């Protein structure tokens, strides 16, 4: 393909129209080709019609570009009802003359293979609709219905070429939807060759979870992402996650953010985590991971910034109640709209749907920090490799925006404490391991910093308590022989050093 270059020799992309669909404009580097047709193909239920409707609605409402939607299958009333499911009021747009809805009924029995089949009638009807509101955008849904009774491939291909040429001649930015074929992208196997841009939608079921994917098959005159992208279709329309692989962001900060615990900050060079870094807290049940995560969230809110908390184990009310008992007031952050807790069961959807939802919430809430508690619960819906891939993509997304990430991970008792069930420790900048040590019939909580990239950190194993005022780290206490004392032994030694000497042996 020849390169389109400007006068200074730099490559130049074709003019584009923003779709207004979250994520799609990013992976297409600006939107769809202006004044050219785009083919959107896929199987039943993959979201073709809703993508076309969202494209028209966004153009009419946000970009001052009226649109025409022509349906060859569903009536205007059915289309209007379908659009309302994603919050689009087509009736209102039509009343304001920002949109024209037209249903063209086609009867297969009336289509004869005479060799004289022509789309001239459609061109006349569509042209009048475009002129009536000076439309800039057009959507045709679906193209198969135009040729439902034809078996002559020569006629079909000739008319398809005429259709795309006519759309270009009118200068409208068009979306034409088509059903996916058995062997090719579409049933007729030609549309992808006459379209300037081809988008493939896919709806598959993996491990009993439905997953939707989008791929830009081709885009003439423009760079574009070529991998598959997960997307969700919910009551707010289509949202595409513009992340495909582990990326390397060069947005690095030297600023620090407090962990919310003075003793832990001291172990991390006295200043806490690096802003925009990834932090992992792993340990067995009851070691205090969630409490430390909540105290970090509370500290972010207290600094005047926002924190987004993803809970995959408890409901928001239970988290607030439990942390309040430990002297951590999360309710204050919620009231001030600095803390948002999003609770979901991991099994509610697949990994890609979770990734898409989490990314969208980050875009909407714009937090300074994100907490996931616990990330290990995601292994109930995916393999360790799949979970690691999903989290690495999400972390890279956060890092590119300077957002600090903290995740907790459950390890099973008896396993190596310096290992996680999700295998993401290598992705993290800081890794904290929490343990419950059995000392003289008493369980003692301790924490150690396994790694903290880019900072001098403590190599000590520190005891901490879950008090009425949050997490409190205790100073290291040694007996006269230099042995570290913890729990009841510490208390006894501090009260009676001489009497505790013998009991500490």
Collapsing DSSP states into helix, strand and coil, what is residue 126?
helix
Grade residue 3 by pLDDT with cuts at 50, 70 and 90.
very low
- Phi, psi (5° rounding) for residue 298? -65, -40
Cα dihedral sign for 301, 303, 305, 308? negative
User: Is residue 327 left, alpha or beta, with left meaning phi > 0 and alpha meaning psi from -120 to 50?
Assistant: left
Using the 8-state DSSP alphabet, how is residue 468 labeled? B
Q: What is the reported pLDDT for 452? A: 93
CA pair distance 148, 493, nearest whole angstrom:
89
Which of 279, 307, 283 shows the shortest CA–CA distance to 405? 279
Helix axes 316-325, 289-302, angle to 10 degrees: 90
Structural domains of the chain sorted by starting position, each given as residue range(s) with its CATH number in brackets: 16-240 (3.40.50.300), 256-436 (3.40.50.300)
CA pair distance 371, 279, nearest whole angstrom:
9
Q: What is the reported pLDDT for 404? A: 96
Collapsing DSSP states into helix, strand and coil, what is residue 417?
coil
According to DSSP, the β-strands at 37-42 and 173-179 are parallel
Does 226 score more than 50 pLDDT?
yes
Does 418 score more than 60 pLDDT?
no
**Prediction pTM value:** 0.73
Cα–chain-centroid distance for residue 444?
A: 39
- Phi, psi (5° rounding) for residue 9? 90, -5
CA pair distance 80, 142, nearest whole angstrom:
16
Residue bearing the bigger pLDDT, 459 or 481:
459
CA pair distance 381, 385, nearest whole angstrom:
12
Q: Tell me the β-bridge partners of 484.
A: 478
Poorest-confidence range of 258-262, 298-302, 443-447? 443-447
Q: What is the reported pLDDT for 503? A: 45
Q: State the average pLDDT over residues 274-290.
A: 93
Q: State the average pLDDT over residues 211-228.
A: 85
Q: What is the reported pLDDT for 321? A: 96
Collapsing DSSP states into helix, strand and coil, what is residue 208?
coil
Q: Tell me the β-bridge partners of 198.
A: 39, 218
User: 């969202």: which residue's tokens?
Assistant: 54
Tokens found for residue 371:
């907490």
- Phi, psi (5° rounding) for residue 418? -90, 50
The rounded percent of the chain whose pLDDT value lies above 90 is 47
Whether the Cβ atoms of residue 435 and residue 282 lie closer than 8 Å to each other: no
Tokens found for residue 244:
């495909």
CA pair distance 281, 71, nearest whole angstrom:
53
Q: What is the reported pLDDT for 262? A: 93
Q: State the average pLDDT over residues 39-57.
A: 92
Radius of gyration of the CA atoms of the chain, in A: 29
According to DSSP, the β-strands at 484-485 and 462-467 are unpaired
Which residues in 270-363 belong to E strands, given as ranges? 273-274, 278-283, 307-311, 339-343
CA pair distance 448, 454, nearest whole angstrom:
17
CA pair distance 204, 379, nearest whole angstrom:
20
Q: What is the reported pLDDT for 2? A: 40
Poorest-confidence range of 8-12, 25-29, 213-217, 470-474? 8-12
Cβ-based neighbours of 368, under 8 Å, separated by 6 or more: 257, 275, 300, 305, 306, 307, 403, 404
List the catalytic residues: 73, 313
Q: What HEC string does 2-71 produce?
A: CCCECCCCCECCCCEECCCCECHHHHCCCCEECCCEEEEEECCCCCHHHHHHHHHHHHHHHCCCCEEEEE
Whether the Cβ atoms of residue 464 and residue 295 lie closer than 8 Å to each other: no
Poorest-confidence range of 402-406, 450-454, 473-477, 486-490? 486-490
Does 421 score more than 60 pLDDT?
no
Whether the Cβ atoms of residue 262 and residue 410 lie closer than 8 Å to each other: no
Q: What is the reported pLDDT for 35? A: 95
- Phi, psi (5° rounding) for residue 468? -75, -5
Tokens found for residue 386:
């799949």
């Amino acid at each position: 393909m020849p390169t389109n270059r400007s006068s200074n020799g730099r490559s130049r992309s074709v003019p584009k129209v923003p779709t207004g669909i979250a994520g799609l404009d990013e992976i297409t580097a600006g939107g769809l080709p202006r004044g050219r047709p785009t083919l959107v193909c896929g199987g039943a239920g993959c979201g073709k019609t809703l993508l076309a409707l969202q494209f028209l609605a966004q153009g009419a409402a946000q970009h001052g570009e009226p649109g025409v939607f022509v349906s060859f299958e569903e009536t205007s009333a059915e289309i209007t009802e379908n659009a309302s499911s994603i919050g689009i009021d087509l009736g209102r747009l039509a009343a304001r003359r920002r949109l024209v809805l037209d249903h063209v009924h086609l009867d297969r029995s009336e289509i004869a293979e005479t060799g004289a089949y022509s789309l001239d009638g459609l061109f006349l009807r569509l042209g009048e609709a475009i002129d009536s509101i000076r439309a800039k955008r057009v959507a045709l849904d679906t193209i198969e219905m135009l040729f439902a009774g034809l078996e002559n491939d020569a006629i079909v291909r000739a008319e398809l070429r005429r259709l795309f040429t006519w759309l270009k001649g009118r200068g409208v930015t068009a979306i034409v939807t088509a059903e996916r074929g058995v062997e090719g992208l579409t049933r007729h196997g030609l549309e992808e060759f006459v379209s300037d841009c081809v988008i493939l939608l896919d709806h598959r079921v993996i491990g009993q979870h439905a997953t939707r994917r989008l791929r830009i098959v081709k885009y003439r005159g423009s760079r574009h992402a070529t991998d598959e992208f997960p997307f969700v279709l919910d009551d707010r329309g289509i949202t595409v996650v513009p992340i495909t692989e582990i990326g390397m962001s060069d947005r690095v900060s030297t600023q620090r953010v407090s962990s919310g615990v003075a003793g832990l900050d001291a172990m991390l060079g006295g200043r806490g985590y690096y802003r925009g870094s990834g932090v992992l807290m792993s340990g067995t049940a009851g070691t205090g991971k969630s409490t430390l995560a909540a105290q970090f969230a509370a500290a972010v809110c207290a600094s005047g910034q926002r924190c987004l908390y993803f809970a995959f184990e408890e409901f928001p009310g239970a988290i607030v109640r439990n942390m309040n008992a430990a002297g951590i007031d999360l309710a204050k952050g919620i009231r001030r709209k600095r803390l948002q807790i999003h609770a979901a069961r991991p099994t509610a959807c697949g990994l890609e749907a979770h990734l898409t939802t989490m990314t969208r919430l980050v875009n909407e809430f714009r937090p300074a920090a994100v907490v996931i508690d616990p990330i290990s619960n995601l292994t109930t819906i995916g393999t360790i490799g799949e979970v690691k891939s999903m989290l690495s993509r999400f972390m890279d997304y956060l890092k590119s925006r300077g957002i600090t990430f903290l995740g907790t991970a459950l390890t099973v008792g008896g396993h190596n404490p310096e290992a996680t069930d999700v295998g993401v420790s290598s992705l993290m900048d800081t890794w904290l391991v929490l343990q419950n040590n059995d000392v003289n019939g008493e369980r003692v909580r301790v924490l150690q910093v396994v790694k903290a990239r880019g900072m001098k950190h403590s190599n000590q194993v520190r005891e901490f308590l879950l008090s009425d005022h949050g997490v409190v780290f205790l100073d290291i206490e040694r007996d006269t022989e230099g042995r570290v004392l913890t729990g009841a032994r510490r208390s006894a030694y501090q009260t009676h050093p001489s009497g505790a000497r013998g009991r500490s042996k």
